[in-house]
Chain A
Amino acid sequence: AQTVTQSQPEMSVQEAETVTLSCTYDTSESNYYLFWYKQPPSRQMILVIRQEAYKQQNATENRFSVNFQKAAKSFSLKISDSQLGDTAMYFCAFLSGTYKYIFGTGTRLKVLA
Chain B
Amino acid sequence: DTGVSQDPRHKITKRGQNVTFRCDPISEHNRLYWYRQTLGQGPEFLTYFQNEAQLEKSRLLSDRFSAERPKGSFSTLEIQRTEQGDSAMYLCASSQDSNLETQYFGPGTRLLVL
Give 1 or 0 for each of B80-113: 1 = CB within 8 Å of chain A CB: 0000000000010001000011111111100000
Q: Residue A44 contacts which of B41, B58, B102, B106 (CB distance < 8 angstroms)?
A: B106
Question: A43 to B44, alpha carbons, bound, how many Å?
Answer: 18
Q: DSSP class of A's interface residues: helix, strand, loop or mixed? A: strand
A104 engages B42 (CB within 8 Å): yes
A100 engages B43 (CB within 8 Å): no
Total interface residues in chain B, CB < 8 Å: 25
Give 1 or 0 for each of B35-67: 1 = CB within 8 Å of chain A CB: 100001111110010000000101000000000
Confirm or deny: B33 has a beta carbon within 8 angstroms of a beta carbon on chain A.
Answer: yes
Chain B residues closer than 8 Å to A16, beta-carbon distance:
none
Q: DSSP class of B's interface residues: helix, strand, loop or mixed? A: strand
Confirm or deny: A47 has a beta carbon within 8 angstroms of a beta carbon on chain B.
Answer: yes
Question: A98 to B33, alpha carbons, bound, how many Å?
Answer: 12
The chain A residue sitting closest to B107, CB to CB, is A44
Binding site for B on A (CB under 8 A): 4, 33, 35, 37, 43-47, 50, 91, 93, 95, 98-106
A-B interface, 9 closest residue pairs, ranked by CB to CB distance from nearest: A103-B42, A100-B45, A45-B105, A44-B107, A33-B101, A91-B42, A103-B43, A44-B105, A105-B42
